Structure 1
């Protein structure tokens, strides 16, 4: 599942993945993998995205902050 909010914010600012990579000091391939959910960024990288897009990490990376509570009991 792609991280649509991350992609939308990038496009809203008319930035390419290469420009985002240069601004954040990471590789273009890593940006692509993060946007496609093929890689999970560390906290430092998430903070860089927050600052660049002026958005909260929970909004940009909802899949990483989703809490799943298993309510089934083992008998």
Structure 2
């Protein structure tokens, strides 16, 4: 299975939790303590090693705050 790397632009994130709702492996959550300059708790990944690189989170993000990369040597096929 592919391994992915999710990057969040914390300043763009408004904490809408759409990414949380579409993550098939349930590893995205909102920061409990960190608040960006606009006053929002941004999203983050709890267990980075469990990301499968599906990019559902990046596709649904209305603010373009998420980028997903496949790790070197990753295979996007199951």
The answer to whether the superposition gives a TM-score over 0.5 is no
Which protein shows a greater Rg? 1
TM-score, structure 1 length as denominator? 0.36
Which of the two has greater strand per residue? 2
Which of the two has greater helix per residue? 1
